A = this chain, B = another copy of it.
């Protein structure tokens, strides 16, 4: 498996170990990790720190040119918020661990010129399936349901 997706899964597992929602994300520019993070709704009492947002915040204030040659990794299909953030910064490619347990606005994101690669990772699917079965109310909160 792609080393960066592996790192995103490690982030997801960190989140789970902290009592959080197991979704992880990594931002890569020119083959280098510039940021990594995981969902911290529970840990920080946050309404906005989905994994991708936590990752981009950890990366700090990059230049437009950095974002425009970056690849964003996420263990799960990015929601409307995280997809919108990738669009704001014109991140050209997103690698998605899986989109079976949740699917964001992938068609719209593609229509805006972003390349999406769906890995369909059994490990990512399993992480989410177990979590959703155990904490459905927390998962619903995370996706605004």
Contact = CB atoms under 8 A, between A and B. Distances in A.
Nearest to A54: B48
**Number of identical monomers bound together in the oligomeric complex:** 2
A41 B41 CA distance: 21
B61 A41 contact: yes
A67 interface: yes
Grouping DSSP codes into helix (H, G, I), strand (E, B) and loop, the A interface class, with mixed when no group exceeds half, is helix
Interface in A53-78: 53, 56-57, 59-64, 67
Contact of A81 (B47, B61, B88): B88
Interface of A: 41, 45-48, 53, 56-57, 59-64, 67, 79-85, 87-90, 105, 108, 140-141, 143-145
